[in-house]
Structure 1
Amino acid sequence: MKAGRGEQTGDCPEKESSGYTVLSKNRGYYGFLSRSRVPESGRADKLEITIPAVPNGTVYERIEMLKSLGMNREAAEEIKSVLTSVRGKQVFKYLAFTAIEVGEYNRIIYFTEDIEDEEFLPLSFPRGYRDIVEDASRRDNVDAFLILALIREESRFDPEAFSIAGATGLMQLMPATAHRMRQALNMDAGDNIDIYSVKANISLGTHYLSLLIKEFEEIPLAIAAYNAGERAVRRWLKNSKHRDIEEFIEDIPYRETRRYVKKVLRSYWQYRAIEGLPMKEGGI
């Protein structure tokens, strides 16, 4: 990140500080980095979701009925049938909120991630599978918001996500990695664990992430290794001449990994901001 470097080195402090202030108002990777350098923007109040009223109409009554009966899949289908044609902020908010309630995370992230209205942020960054994520977080001592950020960018909370490379499930685990983590957690191979299952995928993926954090000691490096592999990151570190982690991120040789690290970090910081939690000192 070139904009803002002068403030750290003492060059043009007033100009650079102004640049930070402008950048800090956006919600991208660089915006969050800049927030850490503008004291008054470093921490915000927790964003609360106001539960929307049920709109008038047969389809909305049907959605509520299906939801009350625990027929979440059917309720999700009803929501999808009207989502693209709906008009009005409050009706859309109701559909988005209800979709999150019934576990239809993927589609709602798609429809809300470009909305600037702050009110929709908790819907665009849902806390899906909350209990399972928090259990894994406690077991492996990994921030639950980092787990959520990784899931959001890997699969958009779709348990059935599958990549052409063979990565599967919420945390997009490769079969070989899943096997290694099963061994590390002393899971019996005879247990026939389905790595597409929400609980198993989050458990194995979080344990893998925890091992990467322990090895590389920096969250951005662990995220890079999750995407590109440990060997690649070890090689980059060995050849690195960078002064700090921000420069390292900018010069990650793999374009996909470079973008991936920024996306996961941005989501991580956004999850924390929604809860009114501060970023780590210095941004990273």
Structure 2
Amino acid sequence: MFPTKWIAGAALATASIALVAPQAQAKKPVAASAFASDDDVFLALRDASRSNDAARAAELAGRLGNYAIPSYVDYFRLRPRLATASEQEIRDYLTRYDGQAIADRLRNDWLLDLGRNRNWTLFDEQYPLFVLNDDTQLKCYALMSKALKGQDVAAEARALLTTPQQYGEACPALIATLVENGQFTVEDVWSQVRLASELDAAAVARRIAPLTDANETTLMQAFDRPAAVLARGPGKTRAAHETFIVALGRTARNDIDAAIKALTAGADNLNGKERANAWAQVAYAASFKLLPEAPVFWRRTEDIALSPEAHRRKARMALRAGEWKQLREAIEAMPASLRSEPAWIYWLGRAFRVEGRKDEANRLFESLSGQTGFYGQLALEELGRPVTLPPRPQPLSAEEVAVMANNAGLRRALKFFDMNLRFEGVREWNWELRRMNDRELLAAAEFARQKNVLDRMVNTSDRTKAELDFTQRFPMPFRDVMSAATERIQLDMAWVYGLIRQESRFVQNARSHVGASGLMQLMPATAKWVARKIGLSDFSPQQVNEIGTNVTLGTNYLNMVLNDLEGSQAMATAAYNAGPGRPRAWRSTLSRPVEGAVFAESIPFSETRDYVKNVLSNATYYAALLEGKPQSLKARLGTIAPQGYSPSELP
């Protein structure tokens, strides 16, 4: 029995997570006289600002008159009293630090406050100046402002309102506004309630419940105690029917048979569209469980509008079942924004090929073949070309790198990295990359290499379009440690490097929000268990971030999982992220062998699904670098078969 790497039910952490620095996180407020340096004062200021302690923030900021990063000192001083600060004071800050990342952050904060207070005059003036424009709440406020001025924003709102976890106060307020002025119908509102149910956003459903004619208590009971709602049956009104449908979806999460029984019993009381929506709720849950019946349930949804995630689940279940016609139809029914995702371009090409539409399939594969990454690699192989490395660009000059060394934003980022403030450091670094061309990005990546900030080197180099330097994108630090650890147990070093690149981006003291540490992101219990299994008698938890110890424990754990899962890198990679039990459970629902790419695509956890794709794509490129020859991602993915299949039975 293996220890589970991740806490059950927690978000699965990968390289995309915010890496928490143990040193910074361990800081506690201290008396002013106890500060050893201005950096300690700054960290205390940051904490005070985040706690909305305006008086403490003002006192600490006053001690930092000559600090190296004045824009952040002033930001942390102003942020706790943003709601009471004068308009002129905020404008003065934005003018003083115009063009900096932190000024855009303050404008984001100010716009949220303006939206909450319905100050549309100032909001409309400031919103076009918000550079990143990555806040769903602000997008909802912007549409709300337009709607209040009589503009038709219904189509934009429907396209935007797909992520209830990010709605905050703004998006339910937008929905209410659109209902009030007639741009949204009751169907739009119930669609949002069903979406909130699918994505576990009960708070959103509660906020928009008054916009329906349902009893709020009964509707929320459908979320919290759905069996009681199902026991009463569908009722006679539209609101009762919709509440019943929500309860079906909630019940199906834990007891699919009970949901199907209730739906079958109550189906005659629902109209055709309501029955299709009810089956969509059941199919959605069945898809997460990877039940073989899921494609049948999806067929009963006919052509009703689906949420983006429901579209994806419908397509994945058809793919897993080998229903290529149903897969094609599912992809073609997606909105254009989904159809343009590399995954669905690739799988549509595969469906076309099965149907004998070779030229159409090849056109789709060609459109992906220039992309690096999972689907670009698979598309190349569909076209009969192996995965190879691109030619290296012309070497960078010292002058090109020197420009980056003199970049004020990159210097601010390095200051934050030195203090283990990775969130602020990454924000500053990425802000400076926005307008860089390929040569400048390569130079910035090289500057990061020189400063030993390898995660920024990788992420920066990954942004280039035409000039690709895979020595930057796929670095191989600690080569002696890696060679010794992998050779000792005959483990594929390319795979291990691919995993580390995804796990920690080579940040030695990386710490995830669930407590995983080091290059290979080991959980404390896993590290202790592996140390005991391999006879590392002098191991202590404090050693987990030491490179040699972390790699030794991580590679041994990975090797144990690989051996337990019959040598499948696809299965073992999933196990490393989600725990060994889950890949076995996902395999147990297969009715036939499937190619590894199909298995990876149908993993129900989005984090693990992307993790497996990224790790094995990385490993394929690392193998090309290490071996100096073309590679096959398909061969690395292999074939996944239900337990009990013999090798001779595999395709």
**TM-score exceeds 0.5:** yes
User: What does 1:1-284 correspond to in 2, within 5 Å?
Assistant: 2-6=347-351, 9=354, 11-39=356-384, 41-44=385-388, 47-48=391-392, 51-55=395-399, 84=432, 93-189=442-538, 194-216=543-565, 217-241=567-591, 243-244=593-594, 245-274=596-625, 275-280=628-633, 282=635, 284=637
Shift of residue 49 of structure 1?
Answer: 6.8
- Count of residue pairs brought into register by the alignment: 270
Deviation by residue 1:210-236 (Cα, 9 ceiling, x = unmatched): 122222221111110001101111211
Bigger radius of gyration: 2
3-state SS of paired residue (1:168):
coil
Shift of residue 37 of structure 1?
Answer: 2.0
- For 1:209 and 1:44, the matched residues in 2 are separated by 26
Q: Is the CA contact (8 Å cut-off) linking 1:23 and 1:30 kept in structure 2?
A: yes
Q: Is the CA contact (8 Å cut-off) linking 2:617 and 2:633 kept in structure 1?
A: no
- AA at the equivalent of 1:143: D
3-state SS of paired residue (1:194):
helix
3-state SS of paired residue (2:347):
coil
- For 1:56 and 1:100, the matched residues in 2 are separated by 14
- AA at the equivalent of 1:28: G
- For 1:118 and 1:59, the matched residues in 2 are separated by 19
3-state SS of paired residue (1:264):
helix
Shift of residue 203 of structure 1?
Answer: 1.3
| Alignment partner, residue 70 of structure 1 | none
Residues 47/214 of structure 1: CA separation in 2 closer, same or farther (3 Å cut): farther
- Larger RCO: Structure 1 or Structure 2 (Cα < 8 Å, ≥ 6 residues apart)? 1
Deviation by residue 1:169-217 (Cα, 9 ceiling, x = unmatched): 1111011111121122210146676011111111111111112222222
Q: Is the CA contact (8 Å cut-off) linking 2:438 and 2:464 kept in structure 1?
A: no
Residues 54/213 of structure 1: CA separation in 2 closer, same or farther (3 Å cut): same
Deviation by residue 1:54-87 (Cα, 9 ceiling, x = unmatched): 228988999xxxxxxxxxx99x97xx99994897
Shift of residue 267 of structure 1?
Answer: 1.9
- AA at the equivalent of 1:38: L
RMSD: 3.3
| Alignment partner, residue 276 of structure 2 | none
Shift of residue 124 of structure 1?
Answer: 2.1
Residues 178/50 of structure 1: CA separation in 2 closer, same or farther (3 Å cut): farther
- For 1:61 and 1:228, the matched residues in 2 are separated by 40
3-state SS of paired residue (2:468):
helix
Structure 2 unaligned runs (5+)? 1-345, 407-413, 419-424, 638-651
Q: Is the CA contact (8 Å cut-off) linking 2:386 and 2:630 kept in structure 1?
A: no
3-state SS of paired residue (2:543):
coil
Q: Is the CA contact (8 Å cut-off) linking 1:43 and 1:277 kept in structure 2?
A: yes
Deviation by residue 1:209-264 (Cα, 9 ceiling, x = unmatched): 11222222211111100011011112111222354122222221212211211121
Structure 1 unaligned runs (5+)? 63-72
- For 2:508 and 2:363, the matched residues in 1 are separated by 43
Shift of residue 10 of structure 1?
Answer: 6.5
- AA at the equivalent of 1:13: K
- Per mean C-alpha deviation after superposition, the further-off stretch among 197-206 and 88-97 is 88-97
Deviation by residue 1:107-147 (Cα, 9 ceiling, x = unmatched): 22232222113433321221122222222221222222211
Shift of residue 46 of structure 1?
Answer: 6.7
Residues 273/163 of structure 1: CA separation in 2 closer, same or farther (3 Å cut): same
- For 1:157 and 1:194, the matched residues in 2 are separated by 17
